[in-house]
């Protein structure tokens, strides 16, 4: 296993933060402290921004092919170190070793993809007449602030960095204080791969203070944020003062619809994939299962059986599928949602008996509810609770699926080709899984609509988030 990082990566230097406070990184499986990291000071953040601004002047001039080589090297090093780094990721986050390694390789895929995209950056010349020449160029936006969550501590930063570096940007990143180790290990890889010093800082510290410095700095031209809708709305307000560009990947309330014609076995497989990855703690997790009443009994029986076979425990155990939740607040929230549903008549179909006496564990649970007023219908659960809502018609279920302010991910299962097209067109979400419980790929744009945010990560659209357009008109 890799050694735990114990210092911040400040302007290309491994240093202790200038604050008097420490961030304690806790293993959620047993509540033990893995390591303490001294938090950065306000001056550390200012220094990181200033150093990034200076570095940008040279980094933006590096050729596309040279940047591509560095991105390819980052990917290569992630793959080489994946086994060691996966243990660290599992310990700080709680997810299984298999999921941790998959996350690392998923992140590597973005560096591979954007290495190719870097080589394809080009402008265009518009010949309006023999007397005029118009040019359109793509230029990097400059210094970018990145704020990433705890649920995918390496992949969320990798996805942002890959596109930003490909475009020629420099970055000041703030990982979640609960899971900064994987982000710091990624910084080490970037350093070893040849990313210039000060082109990346990874800062552990007070969220409000770091966020304030990034938002108020006129040097920081863009913020890329993955997190809650509540915080995203605050960033929108704060960005007005400096007219910052924002990319926001916020909360979700994903529907998972199983129509009468669906292949039930495949639907169960997709439901497990979309719901129970990372113990249900993903923004694209299925939050509301809508099952046609004619197949409710079959799906309920098979899904319940599949859930009962999910082993709960420490992510380091090879057979474990469900690790702990991130902290006690997450456990309390899931308990509150479960109790509310039960009080309002929801039927508990399946719930594990937990043998773990320590750690932030919560049992994978399946309920059926006919009450749409339960809190879990409108709130993002962010845990291993699945709730089935029976439905009768396509029109009814589409209305229910879209009855949320969020618009990130959605899923449905059907073998009726005409229905597939109708439902695809009617769902008001940025991403749709059709007969699939997985929807993310480096080759395609990831992001939502409505209160799930705006901007995209991944695909050719992702690099555009880090580019400005410059038009020039020359009289000949």
Q: Where are the beta strands (DSSP E) in 293-383?
A: 347-351, 365-368
Residue 207's closest CA among 159, 151, 150?
150
Three-state SS string over 144-183 comes to: EEEECCCCCCCHHHHHHHHHHHHHCCEEEEECCCCCCHHH
Instruction: Assess whether pLDDT exceeds 90 at residue 129.
Output: no
Please say whether the dihedral angle defined by the alpha carbons of residues 198, 454, 436 and 351, taken in this order, is positive or negative: positive
Q: Does residue 128 have a pLDDT over 90?
A: no
- CB burial of 77-89 (b: ≥16 within 10 Å; e: otherwise) equals bbeebbeebbbbb
User: What pLDDT sits at residue 130?
Assistant: 87
What the block records as the tokens of 53 is 């601004």
CA distances from 108 to 186, 377, 457, 460 (A): 10, 35, 14, 17
pLDDT at 210: 98
Check residue 2 and give its pLDDT. 82
Q: What is the pLDDT of residues 334-345, one digit of tens each?
A: 999 999 999 999
Closest by CA to 472, choosing from 135, 65, 111, is 135
State in Å, rounded, how far the first CA of the chain is from the last one: 63
Give bridge partners of residue 256 from the DSSP assignment.
289, 411
**Contact in structure between 145 and 161 (CB atoms under 8 Å):** no
Distance separating alpha carbons of residues 146 and 455, to the nearest angstrom: 14
Residue pair 47/10 in contact (Cβ under 8 Å)? The answer is yes
Tokens at 355, concatenated: 């043998």
Least Cα distance to 218 among 49, 55, 54, 56 occurs for 49
State the sign of the Cα–Cα–Cα–Cα dihedral 151, 255, 353, 99.
Answer: negative
Please give the DSSP secondary-structure letter assigned to residue 352.
P
The β-bridge partners of 23 are: 37
Mean pLDDT across 92-110:
98
Confidence check: pLDDT of 246 > 90: yes
pLDDT of residue 353: 76
Question: Quick check: 225 pLDDT over 90?
Answer: yes
Phi and psi of 338, rounded to 5°? -65, -45
Average pLDDT over residues 180-204: 98
List the catalytic residues: 249, 283
Range list for CATH 3.40.605.10 in the chain: 8-250+452-475
Nearest to 176 by CA among 210, 216, 131: 210
Mean pLDDT of 88-102: 98
Residue extent(s) of CATH 3.40.309.10 domains in the chain: 254-441
The predicted pLDDT at position 25 comes to: 98
Q: For residue 380, list its beta bridge partners.
A: none
At 233 the pLDDT is 98
Q: Which residue has the tokens 């969020």?
A: 406
pLDDT of residue 324: 97
Instruction: Give dist(CA 401, CA 393) in Å, integer.
Output: 12
pLDDT tens digits, 6-30: 999 999 999 999 999 999 999 999 9
pLDDT at 198 over 90: yes
Residue 93, pLDDT above cutoff 90: yes
What Rg, from alpha-carbon coordinates, does the chain have?
A: 23
Is residue 357 predicted with pLDDT exceeding 80? Answer: no
What does pTM read for this prediction?
A: 0.96
In the prediction, which pLDDT does 397 show? Answer: 99
Q: What class does CATH assign to 254-441?
A: alpha beta
Maximum alpha-carbon separation in the chain = 80
* Strand-pair partners of 365: 351, 385
The whole-chain average pLDDT of the chain stands at 97
Report the pLDDT value the prediction gives residue 20, as an integer from 0 to 100.
Answer: 95
Residue 249 bridge partners (DSSP)? 226, 453
Check whether 316 has a pLDDT greater than 80.
yes
**Burial zone of 357 (CB within 10 Å; 0-12 exposed, 13-18 middle, 19+ buried):** exposed
With beta carbons less than 8 A apart as the criterion, state whether 214 and 172 touch: yes
pLDDT digits (tens, 9 = 90+) for 365-386: 999 999 999 999 999 999 999 9
Residue 374 near residue 264 (C-beta atoms within 8 A) = no
What is the topology classification, in CATH, of domain 8-250+452-475?
Answer: Aldehyde Dehydrogenase; Chain A, domain 1 (3.40.605)
Quick check: 127 pLDDT over 90? no
User: If you average pLDDT over residues 167-174, what whole number do you get?
Assistant: 99
Q: And the tokens for 397?
A: 């279920």
């Amino acid at each position: 296993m890799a050694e735990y990082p114990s210092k911040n990566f400040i302007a290309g230097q491994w240093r202790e933060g200038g604050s008097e406070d420490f961030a304690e990184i806790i293993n959620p499986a047993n509540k033990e402290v893995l390591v303490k990291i001294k938090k950065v000071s306000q001056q550390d953040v200012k220094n990181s921004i200033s150093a990034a601004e200076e570095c940008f002047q040279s980094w933006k001039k590096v050729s596309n092919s040279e940047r591509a080589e560095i991105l390819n090297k980052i990917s290569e090093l992630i793959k080489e170190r994946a086994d060691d780094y996966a243990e660290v990721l599992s310990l700080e986050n709680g997810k299984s070793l298999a999921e941790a390694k998959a996350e690392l390789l998923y992140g590597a895929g973005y560096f591979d993809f954007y290495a190719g995209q870097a080589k394809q950056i080009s402008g265009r010349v518009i010949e309006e007449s023999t007397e005029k020449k118009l040019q359109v160029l793509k230029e990097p936006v400059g210094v970018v602030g990145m704020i990433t969550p705890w649920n995918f501590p390496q992949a969320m930063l990798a996805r942002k960095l890959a596109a930003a570096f490909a475009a020629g940007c420099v970055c000041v990143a703030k990982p979640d204080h609960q899971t900064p180790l994987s982000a710091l290990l990624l910084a080490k890889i970037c350093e070893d791969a040849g990313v210039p010093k000060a082109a990346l800082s990874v800062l552990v510290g007070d969220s409000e203070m770091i966020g304030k410095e990034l938002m108020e700095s006129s040097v920081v031209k863009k913020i890329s944020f993955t997190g809650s809708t509540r915080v995203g709305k605050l960033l929108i307000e704060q960005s007005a003062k400096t007219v910052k560009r924002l990319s926001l990947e916020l909360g979700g309330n994903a529907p998972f619809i199983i129509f009468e014609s669906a292949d039930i076995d495949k639907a169960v497989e997709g439901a497990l994939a979309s719901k129970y990855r990372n113990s249900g703690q993903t923004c694209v997790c299925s939050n509301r299962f809508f099952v046609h009443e004619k197949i409710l009994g079959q799906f309920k029986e098979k899904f319940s059986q599949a859930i009962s076979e999910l082993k709960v425990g420490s992510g380091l155990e090879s057979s474990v599928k469900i690790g702990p939740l991130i902290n006690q607040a997450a456990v309390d929230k899931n308990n509150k949602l479960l109790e509310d549903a039960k009080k309002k008549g929801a039927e508990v179909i399946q719930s594990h008996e937990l043998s773990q006496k320590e750690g932030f564990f919560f049992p994978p649970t399946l309920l059926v509810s006919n009450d749409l007023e339960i809190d879990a219908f409108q709130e993002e659960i962010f845990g291993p609770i699945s709730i089935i809502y029976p439905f009768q018609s396509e029109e009814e279920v589409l209305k229910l699926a879209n009855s949320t302010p969020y618009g990130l991910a959605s899923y449905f299962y059907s073998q009726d080709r005409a229905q597939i097209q109708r439902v695809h067109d009617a769902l008001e979400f940025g991403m749709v899984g059709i007969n699939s419980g997985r929807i993310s790929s480096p080759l395609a744009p990831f992001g939502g609509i409505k209160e799930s945010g705006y901007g995209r990560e991944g695909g050719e659209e992702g690099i555009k988030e880090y580019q400005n357009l410059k038009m020039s008109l020359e009289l000949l």
